[in-house]
Amino acid sequence: RILRKIPTASTSKNEGLTDRKTFAGYLDKCYVTMQANLITTFEGINNVCTTADIWTSCNRSFMGMTAHWIDTCTFERGKAAIACKRIRGRPTYELIASEIEQIHSMYGLTHKVTATVTDNGSNFVKAFKMFERPVSGSDDDETHDEEVTFTDVGEALSDSDGQYSLPPHLRCASHTLNLISK
């Protein structure tokens, strides 16, 4: 869609994207507009599912994320690419958890994501195993006989322990079937 908006050679010389710097500025402006539109869209949605993947090209790692939802008024499916960013360093489970949480937060999706679908990579599996937030409404929440524990407020509010809060994790069925068949 971006390429359709690029001025053609028939426009005046002052309106054209004549060099790399001008095009990069135009692309940045389009990105900010797209991000603002998605944030507005997500404000009216209660449940979103995301997907995440990491790949490497020329010794550089990249993370991509998509969001999928159903519009509550029209019951139409919606989808959007919400991230395609460079990951610096080894893609460890802590780095993955940090990036996923940051992307969800950037779009206001932190408490709206019902699940995140990934491949069966050990780094993704461990990230969600270590940092998946408890599912609310489970039978374990029904027990009222639990012991009360007290925690230091400063300790509870500090972010120094690197704890993240990730949504429930689903493994991609296609990847799982591919592993089974091999």
Q: How many helices (H) and strands (E) does the chain have?
A: 6, 5
* Residue 10 confidence (pLDDT): 47
The 10s digit of each residue's pLDDT in 138-164 is 444 444 456 666 655 554 554 445 588
Tell if the pTM clears 0.75, that is, is over it.
no
Percent of the chain with pLDDT over 70: 75
User: Cα separation of 46 and 111, whole Å?
Assistant: 9
User: Cα separation of 37 and 65, whole Å?
Assistant: 17
Q: Is 80 exceeded by the pLDDT of residue 4? A: no
Q: Regarding beta strands 77-87 and 60-70, do their DSSP bridges make them parallel or antiparallel, or are they unpaired?
A: antiparallel
Asked if residues 45 and 69 have their Cβ atoms less than 8 Å apart, the reply is: yes
Token pair of 156 as six digits:
């509870």
